[in-house]
Amino acid sequence: MAVDWQLAAFLILSVLEIGGSIMVVTAKKLVHAVFWLALTLVTIGGIYLLFLSEFLFLIQILVYAGAVPVLFLFGIMLTRRKIMEEVTPGEVLEGPGEAPREGLP
């Protein structure tokens, strides 16, 4: 039984990559999208490795997996979109379940 392991690896990597890149554009939360982007970039690095270009693979990991998603995350977090499901104190007080307290400042 001769299994073409390279082909198998290529197929697995491509499936991960295509799935990851679809998830990048469909993910609801931006941080999830960045996570999927990192996965996509790493699998692209894996495909470079299959082409026997190790240097490109390592640079891909170093730059595109280590640095670029972190920069994206910084961008997302610093632009102050709603990044956590945080409840502001005002919402809690005016919520339906909470009776308005009197006498409090």
Partner 1 sequence: MSGALVSPDLFTLCKVLITGIMKIQSDAILAGAPVGSPVEPLRGLAYFLMEDWFLTFNAWMIAITIMVTWAAAIQLLTMMWIERKFYSRLQDRYGIMISIWSLPFWPFSWWAKRRNKPTHRGLGYLQNVADGVKLLQKENITPANADSAMFHTAPVLIASSTVMIFAALPFSEGFVIANMPMSLLFILAAFSLAPLGILIAGWASNNKYTLIGGMRAAAQLMAYEIPLLLAVVALLMYAGSLNVIDIVHKQEALLVMLGPIPIPAWNVFSIPQFIGFAVFLVAIMAEMERIPFDIPEAEAELVEGWLTEYSGMRFGLLFGFKWLRALAGSALVVILYLGGWSGPVFVTLTPAVGATVIPIPIIPHEVWFLLKVYLLFLLFVWVSWSVPRVRIDQILNIGWKRLIPLSLLAILLAAYLAALGPALGGIR
From residue 61 to residue 80, the character string flagging contacts with partner 1 as x (rule: CB under 8 A) and all else as - is xx--xxx-xxx-xx--x---
Count of positions on this chain that bind partner 1 (CB under 8 A): 23
Q: Is the dihedral of CA 74, 70, 56, 19 positive or negative?
A: negative
Our measurement of the distance from residue 51's CA atom to the centroid of its chain's CA atoms, rounded to an integer in Å, reads 26
**Position among 12, 26, 50, 54 found at the interface with partner 1 (CB under 8 A):** 54
Q: Which is nearer to partner 1, 29 or 92 (CB)?
A: 29
For residue 65, give the nearest of 78, 77, 56 by alpha carbon: 56
* Residue ranges in contact with partner 1 by CB under 8 A: 29, 31-32, 35, 38, 54-55, 58-59, 61-62, 65-67, 69-71, 73-74, 77, 83-85
